[in-house]
Structure 1
Amino acid sequence: MARVLLVDDDGAVLAALAELVRAQGHEAIPVSSGAEALPRLDGADVVVTDLAMPGMDGLELLRAIRERDEALPVVLLTAHGSERVAVRAMKAGAYEYVSKPFDVDEMAVVIDRAAEARALRAQSRRLRAEQAIGRRIIGGSAPMRRLLEAVGRVAPKDVTVLVRGETGVGKELVGALLHAESPRAAGPLVRFNCAAIPPELAEAELFGHVRGAFTGAIQGRSGFFAQAHGGTLVLDEVGELPAGVQAKLLRALQDGEIQPVGAGRLEKVDVRIVACTNRDLEAEARAGRFRADLYYRLAVVELVVPPLRERREDVPELARELLRRCAERFGVEDARLAPALVDRLAASDWPGNVRQLENTIARLVALSTGGEIGPDALDPTPGLAPPAPPPGAPPAVDAGVEGDSPGEPDRPLTLREQLDAVERGIIARAMTAAGGNQSEAARRLGVSRGTLIDRLKRFGLAPDYGGARR
């Protein structure tokens, strides 16, 4: 089904076109002027517009459409004697023109061909993007098609993009697509999770540092900005950046320059920023919790990734693709989802979005011995803990055993224990980010490898990374 935007100031013609489009099984969006059409272009697959209209005529509307989306097919309706103007319109990029009064069968064929051309172009672009990022993109629903079309329009233009969406919707995938379809595709794609780094380390991680810049900095290292030079830097959870780092990020965006911690010089960088967040940064800026000037710099183009509950028709195909990946990873043969199970999955709200669906499918496959997985597999399994609650759900309350008295409250941690817990978490994240490579993790942390090994043993992390590479 295609979304067909119909533009004509003649109410009778508009009604006839709408009836024809709906009879073909497409969605009709009728408007009576070019000015009304412009705000409705997002998500349209085909535009059918009259040539002669008061105010903005069909040619002006065509030019405006070509500036926004040159791949959107535009069909012009022309009166007899206007063929010369119609030929000019074809040279300007119109898909086709049809003379008034139009033949119903001819118009139906033109609209179907235009919708098919749009779909084939989108499919071709998606296949190229899938090849570039090495994974399938699933999104046949209208919200996802609109998002992917917007990505295709924005990616070639070297502007900063803010990607908004709930936790788990796949914002990082949008960042990868923007990079893969951009002129920077041959350059590096670097990701930086602003929420995973303690505030005191965020500046050094982003912009780098020189030797001796702070305690433990026995050697200098380049930051994520320098690593992304010539490519794209994806800033996950950008709303978590400390205020001081926000100011330095703003300068990097404005001037294309960074200053490593402890350095007395500026360095030029050529980086495209894609910022991702699950927050409403505009509201955060109004409340004074995020720099307003940085928000406007980041949101040159703003894309919103729809939650899974708004694109339920994608769930069956998405679930089967996730099943294929998990079955391959776990070595489970011939695993498949029963139709009743797919129906239950599609009917769920998925507050944790794609990430929650992926974890659910992984659990189903891990507990499967192969063959068809039925809807009962979603129910709690005897002997196993129940599935994790969705993100945002209230914590479970332990009511205890009847007759038991409440237990003693936990002893509060000392300052030393709290600091050790923070340090342990930083080191564990660095080891994970370095893929278990101790030398790389030490470089990221700005300490010697010997110091890192001592800390791994002290915090009981050595067994987890016992097979770590040097």
Structure 2
Amino acid sequence: MTDIILESISDGVFTIDLEWHITSFNRAAENIIGIKRNEAIGKLCYEVFKSNMCESRCPLRKTMQSGKPVINVEGFCINPAGERIPISVSTALLKDQAGHVIGGAETFRDLRELEELKQQLVSDPLKGELTSRSPAMHPILEMLPTVADSSAVILIEGETGTGKEVTARAIHRMSPQAQGPFVAVNCGALPDTLLESELFGYKKGAFTGADRDKIGRFKMADGGALFLDEIGEISQAMQVKLLRVLQEGVYERLGSTTSERSRARIICATNRNLKQMVEEGRFRRDLFYRINVITLSLPPLRERKEDIPGLADYFLRKYRIKMGKKIQGFTEDVYEAFYAYPWPGNIRELENVVERAVVLCSGERITLSCLPEELVHWNVQAARALTLLPKPAGAPGFSPILPHHHEAPEVPHEERFHQTAAQAETDLIRKTLAQNGNNRTLTARQLGIHRATLYRKMKQYGIELDESGV
């Protein structure tokens, strides 16, 4: 019965005799340490359980000397592959029926997932300090402390999925109002009547079903920040009401005649071209000037591809913890696919792709077979256009979606794509080499590709370095 219990628990357990030889070793111990039971039994415990605690602060030795158990001492052990595994150790004496000490027992818990969660809180690029390796983001990052310290209204522009709310939260965290609440409203998700009550609140009896007073988001954000996402979606009638709050700092709840003052910092965001909407008469000019005091324009992911490895790695850690998988990373061809793809859905699309890949992955690394068909298909076509893959005889051409300023009807799609993508990749490699002082090892690592791939691409694009590059 004892053996059955030991085999069923998730903590590793082993026992030793008085000579420190291992006498039992359960299945969880095999899985955590990576050593089979028949290889462990009979050996000295420190030969198998290679821990930083073995020599100077062994919990089991302390228990054998004092007779008292040790509970939850944290350290790490090294498995045969050289991987450092964080663990929590508890120990106790083993006694026979007569009460004589015949050895000791040690249980240890694998803390890798807990450590990854801690690291995630520290290095979360979406919730922690806003960072980027891309030169396209550096001017924005340099502006953030100054912008955050002001009380001016901020407008954040960018395509869907570029991280507008993340940027707004970063501004709030750096601001003098950081201890106050951050309240977000998606203006495009609500019709006018609901949006008005959400923003301003209402008094009991203001409309059918209003059986109690309700405060609005402006009141909830007092002393903090109110984030108005997708502000370009609101109607002109609602624009008038919002303009009054921004100009005068006061509003009225629905059904009330008493004005209330707003003390919230206003941050707006849109994926629309508000200037064009103003010219077309679809957005009030006075409201545009009121919210356009400070504008931050976030580049799309295709213009900040240096951030792809870090973001992909973060999403991998996030979802492998959530799904209880031990996936170690991505294969090289997956990174190449990530770099070649234009990411129309930006960071949000990258997150969805990685989440899907984690679900489908059954091995230690995510491969191309785990990616969506459209992404793989696009990259196969792109690779052919860039002559990275041989093009089958008689294969039809393709028409990738390109930025408008690259459109030229007289140039075939494949040739135009070849020129655009090749130039973009050349610029990215040159820029990353310059950032790393021409160190090719660091450059390959930052780009998420093998050094051999970097050498091949440098030769392909005629990028030359002196021999001092590593």
Paired position in structure 2 for 1:178: 171
Q: CA RMSD in A?
A: 2.5
Where 1:142 maps in the other structure, the secondary structure is coil
In structure 2, do the counterparts of structure 1 residues 256 and 290 end up closer, same or farther at CA, with 3 Å as the change threshold? same
Matched, 1:351 2:338: no
Paired position in structure 1 for 2:48: none
Paired position in structure 2 for 1:13: none
- 1:312 corresponds, among 305, 310, 317, to 305
Paired position in structure 1 for 2:132: 139
- 1:292 corresponds, among 282, 285, 291, to 285
Are the equivalent residues in 1 in contact too, given 2:129–2:170 (CA < 8 A)? no
Question: How far is 1:272 from its partner?
Answer: 0.8
1:253-293 CA-partner distances (Å, limit 9, x unpaired): 11111111110110011111100000011111121111111
Paired position in structure 2 for 1:341: 334
Question: How far is 1:135 from its partner?
Answer: 3.3
In structure 2, do the counterparts of structure 1 residues 129 and 221 end up closer, same or farther at CA, with 3 Å as the change threshold? farther
Are the equivalent residues in 2 in contact too, given 1:332–1:370 (CA < 8 A)? no
In structure 2, do the counterparts of structure 1 residues 313 and 134 end up closer, same or farther at CA, with 3 Å as the change threshold? closer
Matched, 1:242 2:235: yes
1:130-181 CA-partner distances (Å, limit 9, x unpaired): 7998436441110112211122221111110000000110100110011000
- 2:354 corresponds, among 356, 361, 375, to 361
- 2:156 corresponds, among 163, 174, 186, to 163
Question: How far is 1:129 from its partner?
Answer: 10
In structure 2, do the counterparts of structure 1 residues 270 and 133 end up closer, same or farther at CA, with 3 Å as the change threshold? farther
2: CA distance, partners of 1:128 / 1:256? 36
Where 2:189 maps in the other structure, the secondary structure is coil
TM-score by length of 2: 0.52
In structure 2, do the counterparts of structure 1 residues 131 and 368 end up closer, same or farther at CA, with 3 Å as the change threshold? closer
Q: Which runs of 5+ in 2 are unaligned?
A: 1-119, 375-399, 402-470
1: CA distance, partners of 2:149 / 2:283? 28
Aligned positions of 1:220-231 closer than 5 A: 220-231=213-224
Report the residue type matching 1:280 in the other structure.
Answer: N
Question: How far is 1:379 from its partner?
Answer: 5.2
Report the residue type matching 1:215 in the other structure.
Answer: T
Matched, 1:329 2:322: yes
Report the residue type matching 1:157 in the other structure.
Answer: S
Matched, 1:203 2:196: yes
Are the equivalent residues in 2 in contact too, given 1:138–1:318 (CA < 8 A)? no
Paired position in structure 1 for 2:64: none
Report the residue type matching 2:253 in the other structure.
Answer: P
Paired position in structure 2 for 1:110: none
In structure 2, do the counterparts of structure 1 residues 207 and 153 end up closer, same or farther at CA, with 3 Å as the change threshold? same
Are the equivalent residues in 1 in contact too, given 2:206–2:254 (CA < 8 A)? yes
Question: How far is 1:337 from its partner?
Answer: 0.7
In structure 2, do the counterparts of structure 1 residues 131 and 158 end up closer, same or farther at CA, with 3 Å as the change threshold? farther
In structure 2, do the counterparts of structure 1 residues 133 and 267 end up closer, same or farther at CA, with 3 Å as the change threshold? farther
Aligned positions of 1:105-144 closer than 5 A: 134-135=127-128, 137-144=130-137
1:75-114 CA-partner distances (Å, limit 9, x unpaired): xxxxxxxxxxxxxxxxxxxxxxxxxxxxxxxxxxxxxxxx
Question: How far is 1:378 from its partner?
Answer: 2.0
Where 1:184 maps in the other structure, the secondary structure is coil
Are the equivalent residues in 2 in contact too, given 1:169–1:355 (CA < 8 A)? yes
Paired position in structure 2 for 1:53: none
Where 2:239 maps in the other structure, the secondary structure is helix
Paired position in structure 1 for 2:368: 375
TM-score by length of 1: 0.52
Paired position in structure 2 for 1:42: none
Matched, 1:257 2:274: no
1: CA distance, partners of 2:343 / 2:189? 24
2: CA distance, partners of 1:132 / 1:170? 10
Paired position in structure 1 for 2:51: none
Report the residue type matching 1:372 in the other structure.
Answer: R
2: CA distance, partners of 1:263 / 1:129? 45
Where 1:195 maps in the other structure, the secondary structure is helix
1: CA distance, partners of 2:129 / 2:221? 25
Are the equivalent residues in 2 in contact too, given 1:138–1:317 (CA < 8 A)? no
2: CA distance, partners of 1:138 / 1:376? 31
* Structure 1 range deviating more: 336-345 or 351-360: 336-345
In structure 2, do the counterparts of structure 1 residues 131 and 165 end up closer, same or farther at CA, with 3 Å as the change threshold? closer
Are the equivalent residues in 2 in contact too, given 1:336–1:372 (CA < 8 A)? yes
